[in-house]
Structure 1
Amino acid sequence: MNNIRSSTAASKSRWLITEIFKNGKALITYLTAGDPSLDKTEDYILTMAENGSDLIEIGIPFSDPVAEGETIQNAMTRALSKNIDLDDIFNVVENVRKKSNVPLVFMTYLNPLFSYGYEKFFKKCASTGINGIIVPDMPFEEQEEIKSFTDKYDITIITLIAPTSKERISVLAKQAEGFIYLVSSLGVTGVRSRITTNIDAIVSEIKKVTDTPVAVGFGISTPEQAKKVTKSADGVIIGSAVVKIIAEYKESAASKLAEYVSEIKRVMQD
């Protein structure tokens, strides 16, 4: 399986992101690199992979994360206070790849990529074993700024579709690769008690024009929400709820994360 620790170097056998959707509904989880520490980031990635996460998003700490709510903003602030940099995060990915071939995707913003250098960044992604990237502040029409580099190094750009994208769904979906990140609600990331967007209708529109899997994120936190969303969608993305567990239990969050992730996955499979 793609989410179990292995003694072999997982980077030698890179899994296509779409593979995670072939055996039922996919669970995608997020954490912020460096919160509470780099060692624990590595540990928590492996813990979530072992307990049901099919793909893990690694948030690169940034001082102006415009798509993030308070929970993830605070996690990024904590990580930045420790002077975490991209090379540190790449080292974490390299260590994870010695033990697991779970698909890994960076969630970041254009400024850190530009500052590090596009060529250098995506070359490093490829050599360490990153499979894809999500850039919330990069408009779809401006993807060409990094597309030559992602193509060169075989890094998948994940397309976001928002509830307000109705007129553009066809264009966005037709060109999407890996999976489509369907934003469940307007606003920033964060736990929500209710998801009021008609997810079923948007997923239906997307599936009229593409076979690319659809995963729903922003606000999903409970097993019930995950179960409901994946009646029509191919997967669910959970971020703030995971980050809240890490914020509460810090260096001792592994068992709580294992319990939470395994419960979400179990309910999705029922």
Structure 2
Amino acid sequence: MNRIVSLFQHHPSHNLNVYFTAGFPKLEDTRRILKSLQDAGADLVEIGMPYSDPVADGETIQISNQQALENGMSVKKLFDQLRNMREEITLPVLLMGYINPVLQFGVENFCQQCAEVGVDGLILPDMPVDEYLETYKPIFDQYGILNIFLITPQTSDKRIRQIDENSAGFIYMVSSASVTGSQTGVTHDMEAYFARVNAMNLRNPRLIGFGIKDHETFVTACQHAAGAIIGSAFIRVVQQNENLEEAITTYVSSVKQGL
């Protein structure tokens, strides 16, 4: 069974998914951060594939992308870094990024490499749902790689149901129509959106992303979904601390305190 599916079956609530950018702050920090997140108690991890034009991301993640690329990060380098990770990493691992580098690498080659190193799923926000279903789903299925779709407050009920029917693992529930790292707190509009989606009784669990940064926002998100995703706030933690292991342990513990 895919590790993502297994996680939500055995641990259906208060799941913490942490995003970080591969090759940031330093080129060879990828595995170090991944292992530290596992040791600190993260439930699953998204590793960002640096891209030169991350349009959906705010300044913090844009800066981490640029620095990682300047450090020499690439898709090939990332797969090299993740080789043999399953000797020490047991939690679900996803790669997140934009479709262009995947197309350049070759979709089948990319999925094959994911399967070989032990990646469980992909999040490609700019890949259209219809294009995935028509062209790429058989390749993803062949290699056992889940494709995680995003929904926003603007996504229609019809599209949400289509995504739910063609998904496994979880649905990435973007909290607002903004860029990453820009929100503070949960607004009434967001709560109405969360309630609308919950009332649809979807078969897949949801994780809420964009605007989650600390214990308070994590707990609030968990009232409406199976957990939440932290990105920009975590990037700032690794950006500002030399002792990564200690900083990561402290931060994850503060987010999940008492849970």
Aligned counterparts of 2:69 and 2:103: Cα–Cα separation in 1: 18
What one-letter code is carried by the residue in structure 2 that aligns with 1:126?
Answer: A
Q: Unaligned regions of 5+ residues in structure 1, if any?
A: 1-13
Instruction: Tell me the residue number matched to 1:155.
Output: 145
Instruction: Tell me the residue number matched to 1:6.
Output: none
Runs of 4+ in 1 over 6 A off after TM superposition: none
* 1:202 matches 2:189: no
Instruction: Tell me the residue number matched to 1:139.
Output: 128
What one-letter code is carried by the residue in structure 1 that aligns with 2:250?
Answer: E
Aligned counterparts of 2:130 and 2:85: Cα–Cα separation in 1: 33
Residues 193-202 or 229-238, more deviating: 193-202
* 1:58 matches 2:63: no
Deviation string for 1:41-86 (max 9, x for gaps)?
2111111111111110000001011111110010010000022111
Q: 1:226 aligns with which of 207, 218, 222?
A: 218
| CA RMSD of superposed structures (Å) | 1.8
Task: Decide whether the 8 Å contact of 1:134 with 1:159 is kept in 2.
Answer: yes
CA drift of 1:163 comes to 0.9
What one-letter code is carried by the residue in structure 2 that aligns with 1:202?
Answer: F
3-state DSSP of counterpart to 1:143: helix
Instruction: Tell me the residue number matched to 1:33.
Output: 22
What one-letter code is carried by the residue in structure 2 that aligns with 1:157?
Answer: N
TM-score (norm 1): 0.88
Percent sequence identity over aligned pairs: 35
* 1:104 matches 2:93: yes
CA drift of 1:39 comes to 2.8
Instruction: Tell me the residue number matched to 1:170.
Output: 161
Instruction: Tell me the residue number matched to 1:259.
Output: 250
Deviation string for 1:92-132 (max 9, x for gaps)?
22243221111100001110001111111110000000000
Aligned counterparts of 1:142 and 1:206: Cα–Cα separation in 2: 27
**How many residue pairs get matched?**
254
TM-score (norm 2): 0.92
Residues 256-265 or 93-102, more deviating: 93-102
